[in-house]
Amino acid sequence: MFRVALAGMVALLISRVWPLAEAWVAYLALGLAALFGALLISGWPGILSRERLAHTVIDSVLLCALVAGTGGEGSPFFPLFFLAALGILWVETPAKIVAATVVVVGSYLAATVVSVWDPGVLGSASVGLRAGLLALFCALVGLRSVQTHNYRKLALGLASAFAAELSHVEKAEALVSRFGPTLGVLSLEGILQWTAEAAQAVGGGAYAHVAGLSGNYHSSVLEGDFDACPSWWHPSIQRLLLWSCREGEVVRSEEEIHGIEGFLAVPIGPEEGEPWGAVIVGGRAYGAEEERALKLLAAALAPALEKADVAPGGLDQPSGLPNRASLRRVLRRELSQGGSLTVLALGLEGIVAYGDAARDELLRRLGERLGGRLRAFNYGADEFVVVLGGSDEAKARRTALAIQQLVSEVAGGSGSSSLSAAVGYAFAGGEGDEGPDPVLGAALRVLREARAWAEGIAGPAILAEVPVKSRSDMPVSETATAFIKPLESRDPLIGEHLEAVSRLASRIGSSMSLPRDRLDALALGALLHDVGKIGVPDEILHKPGPLTDKEYETIKRHPVLGAEMLAPVEKLAQAIPAVRHHHERFDGRGYPDGLRGEQIPLTARVVSVADAFDSMIRDRPYGYGISRQAALEEVERNSGTQFDPRIVRVLLDVVWEFDDRRTGSAG
């Protein structure tokens, strides 16, 4: 499918530069590439699908024609040779790797010669440099291929040795202990595939299958000439799996399934507790020795398979924590089940000062501490992610502070005090399945903000905080984004302002002990408070100097326009009071309705204070770019006239709390 898509995309690019008559060879090569991809999708002929060297050869020859037909040495499609060289990863033997390298490099050299029909071009320094880089890349890929196939041969060799030593269980147990720990770095699919292959080698039958009780976790191996492979969905295989797990014992069956007779199912799991799944083998009469060997294999694999449920994408080295692929799978699984989550992104500050060995040791110790206390994942060289259940801001901040303390302890144990941590957190949840990208992106975005603060903690990011849907069945976060995106296209910086106001308003509301529904309405109203500016002309919206009276009257209409935009969307109705009235003044001199005091909705009074404070400290066309202290003094000076005095006091408390923590951090 990738070949077909790539061929179509390249053909589209070529059509914009070269007409068919000038580059017919390139068009022919792309057509053949698409045909080759279609043959691979269909699986015919079988030898073409199995022989991976042929893939690299065909790709290289077709690229030779493409590059020759689009300029030769100067062709913009030269980098595609590196893509073709990646096929060497699946080439099994060193001899075939060398052959593939010769074909890839030779195809490029042939393309440069054919394009000008002059062999002398091979003496060009640029051609030599490119050919050398391509050969070096092929060599590196080939080395990786050799290592991968050696590991596979080693694993299968260990399984074969285990099968040969069935009568010596004690020796086999020592053998299993050698490869068991290495399985922890594999993905769940890799562990399942290896388990099925090892079980088939140990049991000696034609068929082996491993499956988990929950989730679509399974893998099968079948050797021999059979009409079909007993799949995960076959009722007899399901029955063996459930029966062995329910009884916690080995189960046998003489039933014939797709021409295979004699089955044995061994549960995988702890000695006490519910089994994780089962290994099922078939195709022969299994004796006591085979049963003992398979039980030993299942017992050795149980920790890796159970851990793979937590780290389905494998583990990171050297931290030992589940890796980024595992994080994405876990988030996708839990978000699809509903409920709410808190995702904390942790960034290490000062780790670049460590040498390689010291850094690896520090990451190992940090991984042990984080993994022992929290559900933690490695996200990058200096970033980690922690996932908590629920969306309690107080709990999130306590956890962030605990993480910072833990990092300080680990840094102290390494003999250095230069390491610290910044933490950003985001909430996600509610109905629907938005996948992991929005919440991860939100947490990482707030982490960048936290890195700039002395306190080193920022959040929460607003993401699906309102667990309801609009009348079109879109999550509220998506609906709100649909209103904000057009405004961001005209004013790219406004998104940061809206999120910052929403976070600050949420903190003020939490300090006022507002109930959950009021906090949700406050966060959403603050996020959407300026949505009506979509109706303000660009020359007014981006004007750097003072507005004229007429321009000011135009911009004063944005609260009413915003409320009118939200009115047809039933599930966003809770945001309308804050959107319409966030420019009312406590003394009654505001707009659009001239409300005063308690007549102004509480959410609007909070947004008014948060909006003014963030606008003053933000360097924007409608902001002032002044210091936090100066902004606080200005807000306090307008307490009782423009702003509700009670909310001003809460704002001061919130900001002073942050300043106290900064002072503590600095000390």
Whether 263 contacts 280, CB under 8 Å: yes
Q: Which residues contact 298 (CB under 8 A, 6 or more apart)?
A: 266, 267, 268, 278, 279
User: For the stretch 588-618, what's the b/e string if a residue is b when 16 or more beta carbons lie within 10 angstroms of its beta carbon?
Assistant: eebebeebeeeebbbbbbbbbbbbbbbbbbb
User: Over the stretch 179-203, which tens digit does the pLDDT of each residue have?
Assistant: 555 565 566 777 788 788 888 877 8
Taking the whole predicted model, whether its pTM rises above 0.85 is answered as no
Question: Any idea how long the chain is?
Answer: 667
Please report the pLDDT score of residue 312 as a whole number. 61
661 — pLDDT class (breaks 50, 70, 90): very low
Q: Are 585 and 642 in contact (CB under 8 A)?
A: yes
pLDDT of 472 > 50? The answer is: no
Q: Are 78 and 43 in contact (CB under 8 A)?
A: no
DSSP codes joined into one string, 477-515: HHHHHHHHHHHHHH-TTHHHHHHHHHHHHHHHHHHTT--
Residue 274 has pLDDT above 90, yes or no: no
* 171-179 own/partner pairs: CB under 8 Å, 24+ apart: 172/293, 172/296, 173/296, 173/300, 176/296, 176/297, 176/300, 177/300, 179/155
Confidence of residue 468 (pLDDT cuts 50, 70, 90): very low
**Protein fold of 467-667:** Hypothetical protein af1432 (1.10.3210)
List the domain boundaries for the chain.
2-149, 185-310, 311-464, 467-667
With the C-alpha atoms ordered 87, 89, 91, 96, is the resulting torsion angle positive or negative? positive
Rounded Cα distance between 208 and 200, Å, is 5
Encode pLDDT of 93-121 as tens digits. 888 889 999 999 999 899 888 887 888 88
**What is the pLDDT, as a whole number, of residue 167?**
47
In Å, how far from its chain's centre is CA 276?
26
Is a pLDDT exceeding 80 seen at residue 159?
no
Long-range pairs of 156-164 with CB within 8 A, sequence gap ≥ 24: 156/197, 156/198, 156/201, 158/198, 159/197, 159/198, 159/201, 159/202, 160/201, 162/198, 162/201, 162/202, 162/293, 162/297, 163/201, 163/202, 163/203, 163/204, 163/293
Q: Please report how many Cα atoms fall inside a 13 Å half-sphere around the Cα of residue 112, on the Cβ side.
A: 22
Give the pLDDT of residue 529: 93
Distances (CA, A) of 454 to 346, 525, 562, 663: 15, 29, 36, 9
CB burial of residue 50 (10 Å; 0-12, 13-18, 19+): exposed
**Could you give the strand order of the β-sheet that contains 207-212, starting from the edge strand earlier in sequence?**
218-222, 207-212, 277-282, 263-268, 251-253
Is it the case that residue 539 has pLDDT exceeding 90?
no
Q: Please report where in the chains the tokens 């050797």 appear, as a residue.
A: 223
* Best-predicted range by mean pLDDT (39-48, 542-551, 613-622): 542-551
- Give percent of the chain above pLDDT 90: 17
Query: For tokens 């399901």, what's the residue?
Result: 238
**Which band of pLDDT confidence, cut at 50, 70 and 90, is reported for residue 166?**
very low
The predicted structure's pLDDT at residue 447: 85
For residue 117, what pLDDT is reported?
Answer: 80
C-alpha distance from residue 477 to each of 109, 372, 470, 525 (Å): 53, 33, 10, 12
Average predicted confidence (pLDDT) for the chain: 80
CA–CA gap between residue 199 and residue 78 (Å, rounded): 45
pLDDT at site 314: 66
Q: Are strands 457-461 and 420-429 parallel, antiparallel or unpaired?
A: parallel
Which tokens go with 604?
């609007």
* AA letter at 267: P
Which pLDDT value is given to residue 640? 92
pLDDT at 45: 74
Most confident of 150-159, 270-279, 375-384, 604-613: 604-613
The string of DSSP codes covering 434-466 is --SHHHHHHHHHHHHHHHTSSS-EEEEE-SS-S
Q: What is the pLDDT of residues 280-326, one digit of tens each?
A: 999 888 888 788 888 888 887 777 666 665 666 667 777 888 888 77
Is the pLDDT at 580 greater than 90, yes or no?
yes
Q: Is the pLDDT of residue 432 over 50?
A: no
The model's confidence at residue 465, banded by pLDDT at 50, 70 and 90, is very low
- pLDDT the model gives residue 249: 87
Burial (Cβ within 10 Å: 0-12, 13-18, ≥19) of residue 466 = buried
Q: With bands split at pLDDT 50, 70 and 90, how would you rate the model's confidence at 419?
A: confident
Asked whether the beta carbons of 288 and 333 are under 8 A apart, the reply is: no
**pLDDT digit string, tens, across residues 37-81:** 888 888 777 666 677 888 889 989 999 988 888 888 788 888 899
Q: Comparing C-alpha atoms, which of 19, 99, 22, 5 is closest to residue 57? A: 99
What is the rounded CA–CA span in Å between residue 204 and residue 198? 10
**Distance, CA of 210 to CA of 280 (rounded, Å):** 6
Q: How many helices (H) and strands (E) does the chain have?
A: 25, 10
Helix H, strand E, coil C: the string for 160-179 is HHHHHCCCCHHHHHHHHHHH
Q: What is the dihedral of CA 394, 397, 402, 406, to 10 degrees?
A: 160
Place of tokens 């649909």: 482
- Look up the CATH number of domain 185-310: 3.30.450.40
Most confident of 6-10, 83-87, 536-540, 596-600: 596-600
Matching residue, tokens 């507002």: 514
Asked if residue 164 has pLDDT above 60, the reply is no
Question: Please, which pLDDT band fits residue 417 given cuts at 50, 70 and 90?
Answer: low
Largest CA distance in the chain: 96
pLDDT tops 80 at residue 585: yes
Give the separation between CA 360 and CA 372, rounded to whole angstroms.
18
Helices (H), ranges, 316-436: 324-336, 356-373, 393-413
The answer to whether residue 240 scores a pLDDT higher than 80 is: yes
DSSP E strand boundaries for 246-339: 251-253, 263-268, 277-282
* The pLDDT of residue 471: 28
User: Which pLDDT belongs to residue 414?
Assistant: 55
User: How many whole angstroms separate alpha carbon 533 and alpha carbon 536?
Assistant: 5
Phi/psi at 425 (5° precision): -135, 150
Residue 318 has what pLDDT? 72
The 10 Å Cβ neighbour count of residue 517 is: 10
Rg (CA), the chain: 32
Residue 223 one-letter amino acid:
E
CATH code linked to domain 311-464? 3.30.70.270
